[in-house]
Amino acid sequence: MTIQMPDTRPDHSDRSGAHAEISISIATIGDAPALRALHELSLVMLAADAYSPRQIHRLFVTRDTAPPGMIAAGRMLVARRHGFVVGSAGWEPRRFDGQPGAHLRSVFVHPLLTRQGVASALVRAVETRAMERHAIRFTLAATVNAVPLYRRLGYAAVAHGNLDLGDGLSFPVVHMARRVQSAHIDAED
């Protein structure tokens, strides 16, 4: 899948005004180090108003945002620009009241590429893949700074929560959910 994005480099070499491409594909295990580096950079740069440096540091000490199992299962998508990892989104299969669903994770975008639709494209791509496996309800634990994104994408706040980071620290999140009418029931399992 490829989406067209404006080239925001101040010195873009061809100077043609052409659009730089951002491609979305399934991450491989070799992407894990670049994904983790992107996730830390993204949160440090983009969530500083909502979380302290200590909270952000502890989050990455206590949580793997690029779990090998999720990557190996083909449930982590990566956005690339000029071959570099600039965004991600993943999901875990869940059941809600007996119905298939998905819990979204690891939605991060490079700080230099925000507000260009990258996260929206990644979330929709994840939802599409989960719907191919019959998911009709989606949940996520949103960082406080990301709530406007998910509202825009049709998610509603369900509850406020706190991730336990140990060391007496917690990480406030907003639990959000979205339900779709029907999944792509003719797709492969």
Ligand X SMILES: CC(C)(COP(=O)(O)OP(=O)(O)OC[C@H]1O[C@@H](n2cnc3c(N)ncnc32)[C@H](O)[C@@H]1OP(=O)(O)O)[C@@H](O)C(=O)NCCC(=O)NCCS
Whether 26 contacts 122, CB under 8 Å: no
Check binding of 86 to ligand X (CB under 6 A).
no
Residue 143 interacting with ligand X (CB under 6 A):
yes
Q: How far is the CB of 188 from ligand X (least distance, A)?
A: 28
Residue in 13, 115, 185, 189 binding ligand X, rule: CB under 6 A: 115
Which amino acid appears at position 36 of this protein?
R
- Interface residue with ligand X among 23, 55, 62, 120 (CB under 6 A) is 120
Q: Name the one range near ligand X by CB under 6 A: 10-18, 94-102, 104-112, 127-135.
A: 104-112
- In the complex, least distance from residue 185 CB atom to ligand X, rounded to whole angstroms: 28
- Give the contact letters, 159-188, x = binds to ligand X (CB under 6 A), - = no: ------------------------------
| CA–CA dist 187, 135 (Å, integer) | 11
Closest CA to 75 of 62, 88, 61: 88
Question: Quick one: 116 or 134, whose CB is closer to ligand X?
Answer: 116
Please give the Cα distance from 138 to 150 (Å, whole number): 11
Cα–Cα distances (Å) from 145 to 22, 75, 168, 172, in that order, read 23, 24, 22, 11
23 sits near ligand X (criterion: CB under 6 A) = no
Q: Does position 148 bind ligand X by CB under 6 A?
A: yes
Q: Tell me which of 119, 131, 165, 183 binds ligand X, using CB under 6 A.
A: 119
Sheet holding 2-5, edge to edge: 2-5, 20-26, 76-81, 84-96, 99-109, 137-143, 169-179, 156-166
Residue 46 interacting with ligand X (CB under 6 A): yes
DSSP for residue 132 = H
- Residue 81 CB contacts under 8 Å (≥ 6 apart), including other chains: 5, 20, 21, 22, 23, 110, 113
Q: Which residues bind ligand X (CB under 6 A)?
A: 42-43, 46-47, 107-109, 114-120, 140, 142-143, 145-146, 148-149, 152
